[in-house]
């Protein structure tokens, strides 16, 4: 049975999303994108834009599972709060659509994709090309979101 997984790499400036289709151990690229907010807009408007944009993706593709990267604590508490706002907007879009939500640490995602929790962006990009030959993520945020989706597929499905 096919399942559609959406992965999210949250950020207030750039939120990446990536969709994969799974059937057994097979995974296929479906789509991906980046939601870019304008720093000149108010915080509530930016949060609403992330929510609304993800809601549209969810309506268009009807994913079965929602996987999101957990918040890591930055040295700058303001940055952590902004990341938390973006995560909340994304999670709200999923809960309003009644999609089961799964959260993964960045270290866990790296280990699931590359085999090492200390993998760098180049290693992630190489594995994405190997695992999803049709994917051509336009940003690191999209690539990270696809990695989150693959992590969920590898561990939960």
Please identify which of the residues 9, 23, 41, 64 carries the catalytic annotation.
Answer: 9
**Distances from the Cα of 74 to the Cα of 69, 78, 83, 85, 154, angstroms:** 14, 8, 10, 14, 28
Q: Which residue has the tokens 């999210």?
A: 8
Among residues 41, 69, 140, 142, the one annotated as catalytic is 69
Sheet containing 14-23: give its strands across: 26-36, 14-23, 3-9, 65-69, 101-104
Known catalytic membership, residue 141: yes
144 is catalytic: no
41, 140, 141, 144: which is the annotated catalytic residue? 141
Q: How far is CA 7 from the centre of its chain?
A: 3
To the query of whether residue 69 is one of the catalytic residues in this protein, the response is yes
Catalytic center residues: 9, 69, 141
């Amino acid at each position: 049975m096919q399942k559609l997984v959406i992965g999210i790499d949250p950020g207030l400036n750039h939120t990446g999303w990536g969709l994969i289709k799974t059937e057994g151990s097979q995974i296929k690229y479906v789509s991906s994108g980046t939601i870019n907010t304008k720093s000149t807009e108010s915080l509530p408007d930016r949060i609403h834009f992330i929510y609304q944009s993800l809601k549209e993706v969810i309506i268009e593709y009807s994913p079965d599972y929602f996987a999101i990267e957990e918040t890591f604590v930055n040295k700058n508490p303001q940055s952590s709060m902004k990341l938390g706002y973006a995560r909340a907007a994304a999670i709200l879009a999923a809960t309003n659509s009644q999609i089961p939500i799964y959260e993964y640490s960045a270290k866990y995602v790296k280990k699931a994709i590359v085999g090492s929790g200390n993998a760098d962006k180049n290693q992630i990009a190489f594995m994405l090309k190997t695992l999803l030959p049709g994917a051509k993520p336009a940003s690191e945020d999209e690539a990270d979101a696809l990695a989150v989706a693959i992590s969920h597929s590898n561990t939960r499905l």
